[in-house]
Structure 1
Amino acid sequence: MQQGRVPRAGLAVGVLLMTFIYAAAATPKYRFKYMSYAEMVAELHRLASEYPDVMRLEDAVETYSLPEGGLCRSGRDAARPDKPCQVLVARIGLKPVERSRPQMLVLGSMHGDEQLGAMIAFYLVKVMLERYREDPWLGRLISSREIVVVPMPNPYGFDRMMRYEEVDGQLIDPNADFPYGPDSDPNPVGPGGRNGTEGSGCLRALTSRVVHELFMSHIFRVALVFHGKKEFIGYSWSSESFCVPRVRNQTADLASQSRSAVTQADAQSSEDDSDDEDQMTCVDGYRAPDANALSQVATFMSLFAGSFKGSTFRSGALNDPRIYHPSRGGMVDWAYSASFMPDQVLTCEPDQLHGYSRETTQVGNATNRCLTFVIETGHQVRPKEKDLGSSAGLYAARSKQGNGHVTRNIRLALMAADLMEPYVFFIANEEASSHRRSGGSNVDVVSALTRGGILSVKWSVGGALYVDQTYLVIDVVRSNFSFTTKVQSGGSMWAQNHGVDGYGERFAKTEGVFFSSRSANLRWAYSESISLYKYLPAVYRETGAMIRVRAVATVDQSWLEQPAPNSGDARGRRLASQSHMARSRTDPDWFATNAGYDVRGKVLYMSEPIRVRLPAFSLMVSWQAYIWELLIVGVLIFFGPPLAWLYKSFYTNAPSAMTVRSRLRRVFELTKPHRIRV
């Protein structure tokens, strides 16, 4: 080997090694682990300083001028709590945040002993920040949504691994400290009960006040609240006001009730821990006005989260005895319906933590119309650390690939963020993808989309579940001429069987969204192939034109109509959908505003346009491609078989190159003149 030359194999290995090192450095891979209060606070501050363009960190106690809620440990070596607890709020979204950008709330450990929720919320923030530059889907979410994450809404309980929050010497369940539900409480917690004398009512804990302030200063469309000890995705209704109650262990009048429901309610009641013991269970319950939206979103979140160790999330309303039991003062119903169910909202003026004024506890007409989901992460409040998963398993199905409790709940949260607002996008071919990677965009000219005057495009819909109508709108730039293609319907990109039989290698990154190579029965992508010359006026056939193409979709219209029976409020009235998330995509006249943010209704959603330069019509342009295709087919038909026979014969009978070389060497040696010695 000559000096100075690098072997090709060594060069290839070096390139692969450098690529692997770059990818590993770009997307860190690590196992998820439990963290203490002090460690999480330090990590959140580090992330905020490292990603200032997409993350803003604040202490809710300072932001909303709330009183300090107790002391927490400032470090791992701290012998006892020594500094005021911080309720850190991480706001994830590309700055600046527009007033109409969809907002989502994620709450970690409302109960301090259920620490898995805090880990899920924290690693959701960390994974999104570390991967959004390389993962186009995460990049889309960060640039078009604002995700407000509170990993430790109950820092006092989290630091002590204690379920409740201690307030003025009284233990309070922050999840049941909201002004919603029946106007009497047969089981008071602390002096005066939850709805007893004035000054002792709701919003006594710092945790519930922080959540209340967040709702008053935003306009959330989706909220996720993580809990433990069970495994399901629950939603409204959860209050006793919306169920047919039955006293636990009651034996009378069972004949008039559904025996199967009662049996399941008894089984569920036996599984409840002592902290959750209520005296009532539901035999049947009303459905919420947004029952269609709540049910469909919960079902699809369960599918995308997938299973872990053979277990998947059940889903259903919290007043369903097969899911849970009713509660008082729960956050779920308050966050979802306090703005449109004023008869269920309580007025209170707590005197704990230096008091909270009566006016402050009231809600507005737009603040509490949020689809809220309780995520019961598993039957263990603190699973083994090896079962949490890793950052490498974000789209993995098996635990060996990094799937785990934290990983699948991050997937669930990302899907909820995606569903806040619909969007339509084109699935570009490889040439168009290269065009984008080189700095272009959808609005640039993509001439590769036309071939002989034929336009062929493929598109899909995100941020929704079902597509009622979708079609193309094609118009000539700088003119009034336009036409539409045929109407199609089906599913969105989420109509695929994500998580049903695993992710693994079946996910391929396609223009910003992870798709499965196996589609479900419901279609997830749409295509159209149309001759532009056929539909354009004669003047454009002669001169050519610049064509603009947009995909249009109408989605999730079933969310406006509610199922029957048992739909309505506590008095059985039938209500239309009331949430911002449902009405913003089904009612063009919907408008709500709060604290500088707003939600506007829209029915038609359009993609970014594609611009296509169409040349002037000519026979050469129109038939050139087809003539060449006919010639190629003819050559293959007439000359293909003999060429294949010749190739096969040569390949099987011809000597190898080394054999030919050795034979030629022998011939040269034989023909070389020899010297004759005399």
Structure 2
Amino acid sequence: LCSWLVTRYDSDPWVRRLVDTRVILVMPMTNAIGVAQRVRSENGIDPNRDFPFDQSPSACMQTIAARSINELYRSHLLQLVITFHGGMQAIGYEWGAYPYYVGSAHHSPDDNMMRQVSSVLSSFAGTGAVPGNRPYPYAPMNDLVYPVHGGMEDWGYAASWDRAKVRSCSPKTYGGYPASKTAYSDGDARAFTILVETSDAKTPTEGSLGGESGVYAPGSAGDGHIPRNLRLALAAIDLVEPHVEVWETAGAAAAYAPYVRPALRGAGATAARGVACIGWTVW
């Protein structure tokens, strides 16, 4: 993703707009120890259950992985977060916690938005043209996956406002972690945090991964798991902020390409700017 955004910044108007109008944070190897040892845990502790949402204070923020994510949420008012996993194909959203698991998922306050965004991500990602793949099913994690204690997604979405489920952590690992780091204000952890399960196989075959040529060519020979999920990530970056692009006014092409910096427009600093009134219907 980072390479795609950097290398295509000058040649791809969509990429340029995403980079110019978004803050994009990427944590490529959150559980570095687990990756090195080829296990899901960090020194025997599962980072996926290491967050202070419906979790015992002594059983959260035990891992460097969870603490690193916590610091990211604390230092930025994140709006949309995707965490990629493997082992099935799914887009899961809140809730995925036991307090909201009663037969079927108790819908979150933002369920309608979450369902619509997940639908777009599933559609834009496609199947990757991988045999056995299907468009990502999407639903609350309680329905599609299973409920957990201490899940990152529920914590990342609701730790700042569903405070009855959150208690400050008091881990003993790595010399401890200040309890103040898991006391959240209204401006901390309140992002739409999405679980993407990318593949039925934990380690897909190399031939199914795909390449760069498949990103904008779904269904082509270059498509695969990586182009599929790069498309999903690009769609998420685009969706994080509503926008309107104007390409024509009164039948005439727009004088300036949207979101292109003035220095790149080929116009002098004193060029006249027209004003257009735009009306649209919201439904």
- TM-score surpassing 0.5? yes
SS of equivalent to 1:353: helix
Inter-CA distance 242–426: structure 2 relative to 1 (3 Å threshold)? same
Give the Cα–Cα distance (whole angstroms) in 1 for the partners of residues 28 and 277 of structure 2.
40
Name the amino acid aligned to 1:393. Answer: G
List per-residue Cα deviations over 1:76-114 (Å, max 9, x = no partner): xxxxxxxxxxxxxxxxxxxxxxxxxxxxxxxxxxxxxxx
Corresponding residue number in structure 2 for 1:415: 235
Inter-CA distance 224–553: structure 2 relative to 1 (3 Å threshold)? farther
- 2:142 is aligned, of 319, 322, 325, to 319
Corresponding residue number in structure 2 for 1:548: 275
Deviation at 1:554, TM superposition (A): 7.2
Corresponding residue number in structure 1 for 2:204: 383
Give the Cα–Cα distance (whole angstroms) in 1 for the partners of residues 237 and 38 of structure 2.
29
Give the Cα–Cα distance (whole angstroms) in 1 for the partners of residues 214 and 233 of structure 2.
15
Where in structure 2 are the equivalents of 1:354-373 lying within 5 Å? 354-373=175-194
Q: Is the 8 A contact 1:424 1:551 kept in 2?
A: no
2:216 is equivalent to residue 395 of structure 1? yes
SS of equivalent to 1:147: coil
Deviation at 1:163, TM superposition (A): 1.1
Name the amino acid aligned to 1:388. Answer: L
Where in structure 2 are the equivalents of 1:69-148 lying within 5 Å? 124-148=1-25
Which of these two proteins has the greater Rg computed from alpha carbons? 1
Inter-CA distance 386–433: structure 2 relative to 1 (3 Å threshold)? farther
Deviation at 1:348, TM superposition (A): 2.2
Inter-CA distance 445–376: structure 2 relative to 1 (3 Å threshold)? same
Where in structure 2 are the equivalents of 1:172-571 lying within 5 Å? 172-181=45-54, 195=56, 200-244=58-102, 283-307=103-127, 308-309=129-130, 310-320=133-143, 323-400=144-221, 402-428=222-248, 432=253, 439-440=266-267, 548-552=275-279
Give the Cα–Cα distance (whole angstroms) in 1 for the partners of residues 105 and 220 of structure 2.
38
Name the amino acid aligned to 1:140. Answer: R
The two structures have a TM-score, normalised by structure 1, of 0.38
List per-residue Cα deviations over 1:185-236 (Å, max 9, x = no partner): xxxxxxxxxx2xx7x3310000000000111100000000000000010000
Deviation at 1:371, TM superposition (A): 0.5
Give the Cα–Cα distance (whole angstroms) in 1 for the partners of residues 256 and 247 of structure 2.
13
- How many residue pairs get matched? 272
Gaps of 5+ in 1: 1-123, 183-194, 245-282, 447-546, 558-678
Give the Cα–Cα distance (whole angstroms) in 1 for the partners of residues 47 and 281 of structure 2.
40
Give the Cα–Cα distance (whole angstroms) in 2 for the partners of residues 220 and 554 of structure 1.
29
Give the Cα–Cα distance (whole angstroms) in 1 for the partners of residues 166 and 255 of structure 2.
55
Name the amino acid aligned to 2:231. Answer: R
SS of equivalent to 2:25: strand
Give the Cα–Cα distance (whole angstroms) in 2 for the partners of residues 237 and 325 of structure 1.
10
SS of equivalent to 1:377: strand
Deviation at 1:427, TM superposition (A): 1.6
The two structures have a TM-score, normalised by structure 2, of 0.89
Q: Is the 8 A contact 2:170 2:178 kept in 1?
A: yes
Q: Is the 8 A contact 1:425 1:551 kept in 2?
A: no
Gaps of 5+ in 2: 258-263
Corresponding residue number in structure 2 for 1:528: none
Give the Cα–Cα distance (whole angstroms) in 2 for the partners of residues 438 and 319 of structure 1.
49
List per-residue Cα deviations over 1:479-502 (Å, max 9, x = no partner): xxxxxxxxxxxxxxxxxxxxxxxx
Give the Cα–Cα distance (whole angstroms) in 2 for the partners of residues 342 and 296 of structure 1.
26
Give the Cα–Cα distance (whole angstroms) in 1 for the partners of residues 224 and 124 of structure 2.
13
Give the Cα–Cα distance (whole angstroms) in 1 for the partners of residues 80 and 168 of structure 2.
25
Q: Is the 8 A contact 1:284 1:319 kept in 2?
A: yes
Give the Cα–Cα distance (whole angstroms) in 1 for the partners of residues 281 and 140 of structure 2.
27
Q: Is the 8 A contact 1:389 1:399 kept in 2?
A: no
Give the Cα–Cα distance (whole angstroms) in 2 for the partners of residues 394 and 328 of structure 1.
36
Give the Cα–Cα distance (whole angstroms) in 1 for the partners of residues 193 and 280 of structure 2.
26
Q: Is the 8 A contact 1:424 1:552 kept in 2?
A: no
Deviation at 1:420, TM superposition (A): 1.2
Give the Cα–Cα distance (whole angstroms) in 2 for the partners of residues 367 and 177 of structure 1.
17
Give the Cα–Cα distance (whole angstroms) in 1 for the partners of residues 272 and 119 of structure 2.
40
Give the Cα–Cα distance (whole angstroms) in 1 for the partners of residues 256 and 187 of structure 2.
43
SS of equivalent to 1:359: helix
Deviation at 1:243, TM superposition (A): 1.3
Higher strand share: 1
Name the amino acid aligned to 2:208. Answer: D
Give the Cα–Cα distance (whole angstroms) in 2 for the partners of residues 289 and 205 of structure 1.
30
Q: Is the 8 A contact 2:246 2:254 kept in 1?
A: no
Give the Cα–Cα distance (whole angstroms) in 2 for the partners of residues 179 and 209 of structure 1.
11
Give the Cα–Cα distance (whole angstroms) in 2 for the partners of residues 315 and 411 of structure 1.
16
Taking every aligned residue pair, what percent have the same amino acid on both sides? 35
* Larger RCO (alpha carbons 8 Å, 6+ apart): 2
Q: Is the 8 A contact 1:238 1:318 kept in 2?
A: yes
